[in-house]
Amino acid sequence: MNYAKILLSLVFTLFALAVFGQQVTPPRPVLKPQSQQPPRQTERTPVDLQQADSLIGGTFNGQRIDKLIGNVIFKQKDGTLYADSVYQYKEKNMLEAFGSVRINQADTVNITGKRATYNGDTRTATIIGDVVMRDPRMTLTTPSLVYNLNTRTATYTEGGVIVDPENRLESRRGAYNTETKMFDFEQNVKVKTADYDIKAQKMRYNTLTKVVYFQGPTFIEGQQGDLYAEEGTYNTITKISNFGRNAYILTDEYRLGGDKLYYDQNTGYGFAERNVSLRALKDDVTIRGAIGRYWRDRGEAKVYGSPVMETIMEGDTLFLSADTLYSQEPRGERTASMIYAYKDVKIFKSDLQGKADSLSYNRTDSIMHLNVNPVLWSEESQMVADTIHIQLRNKTIDRMYMYSNAFISSEDSLQNYNQVKGRDMTAFFVGGDIRRVNVNGNGESLYFALEGDTVLTGMNKAICSDMTLMFAENKLKRISFLVQPDASFIPPHELGEDDKQLEGFTWMADIRPTKEQVLAKQPVPKAGAAPAPKPAVKAPPVEKTTKANGRKARLRKNRQ
């Protein structure tokens, strides 16, 4: 009995050695018309049998095949294949493996499945059925997988799920390089991190650095805001994003976008460059500029580099520009939602234009404050004061308050200037058109009387503490004096040049902003790609001016 076992073992060993020792006839070279050199032939590396419980050899369907059954192990270079049974195609240097298939490479990559086909010439394995691939960085599950042991790259086309200690990723198609630790995903890509759900059609992921690379439209949804980008990176460890092409941050208050976007989820700080747009979602105000900054936890945003604010008022677009525009969301019940504009503020609307050194817009109370040398124009009327407040209702001008050194003037058809001044004034609007102005204190007026808008018949001059101005079609039509005025009528031939102006009058049509001036681009300040967050931006203080120095400063400015 023992002799029989020894004999059978020797026969099995000799048969295997004979099979592996056979030489494969190389293919006949194909001659190409343009070359006399035969094609270069690569030397075949055999797949060596390491172990099997039994072997059945023979020719099946014209092919020489060894059928190995039970605890089969094959090895080629640094790759090892394990299976319950294997068909070895001798002439093709190919294996078909069945049952509990496992492929190991360099003791770092392990792939399991139900079936596999292995090509010894290309060192490529196709694994089918509940495939699981593991390396020290991740685990991949998929219905089928192709693994190239030369390039150490795995690809799948029937959907796959990748899990590592930090993230879960899935896609319809994918490829993984076990050397670079880089995944390439395509079609219905989904990434789930501790803070975000990412959806895309194409992206890359490094299992070593945990960095996601976007290569197409990508949506990132998070509890503290959403992100969108068409290219860029997101580090799932540091939670820092660097986006490009139509990128934006979306929170409950803002949508900050630009062609270049940096965002640190830990600090809630965002930075945008090129084609920047900041939209306040609650009141539909949009600010555009060259550079934008955003502080999520403080509810603050700042845009500079030719920034322009746009909002719809009375069915028309109001444009506002300045050196810097700054937005602040309320923090607590007693704070307001604010927009601040400072240095060289310009306003343009089809029926309203303005200039000021600084402006603040209380979006909660719908009040706009123009500070330091403010000037407003509405049709032929010019309005000046040390400070001007505009009260809005339903995004329409309802009232205007002019404090200290208030002055209203208008040009008639003969280029005479009707003028009214006083301590304070309140203007009332209907449908966006000025209808009435109340002058409160120290009132003075000059009003030129015309006949048929072509002939000057004289000038009315009056001094009255309080008066009312009535407008129609945005033109001054009548002045009513609320107390007995000190009034006089001066005929044309008695009018001197000094009589035609009240003290402090200046006609400033030359600085009246046009739409082109408001939208004009200025040189963009230099800025880094991802600057560190800076301290809270302080809104510019509302400057106070006295009657005397405010008027003198305005006159000096206009003379220059």
**Pairwise CA distance, residues 280 & 301, whole Å:** 10
What pLDDT does residue 333 have? 77
What pLDDT does residue 523 have? 65
Q: How many other CB atoms sit within 10 Å of the CB of residue 79? A: 20
Interval 523-544: pLDDT, tens: 665 544 444 444 433 434 434 3
**Pairwise CA distance, residues 390 & 317, whole Å:** 16
What pLDDT does residue 402 have? 95
Interval 187-228: pLDDT, tens: 999 999 888 899 999 999 998 899 999 888 999 888 777 888
Kindly tell me the sign of the dihedral angle through the C-alpha atoms of 321, 322, 328, 334: negative
The two beta strands, 396-411 and 444-451, are: unpaired
Interval 54-108: pLDDT, tens: 999 888 777 889 999 999 999 999 999 999 999 999 888 999 999 999 999 998 9
Tell me which DSSP letter residue 38 carries. P
The pTM of this model reads: 0.69
Residue stretches of the chain with pLDDT short of 50: 1-42, 527-560
Q: What is the mean pLDDT of the chain?
A: 83
What pLDDT does residue 546 have? 40
Cross-strand bridge partners of residue 429: 434
- Dihedral in degrees, nearest 10, Cα atoms 528, 533, 534, 537: 110
Query: What domains, with CATH codes, occur in the chain?
Result: 48-134 (2.60.450.10), 380-510 (2.60.450)
What pLDDT does residue 491 have? 92
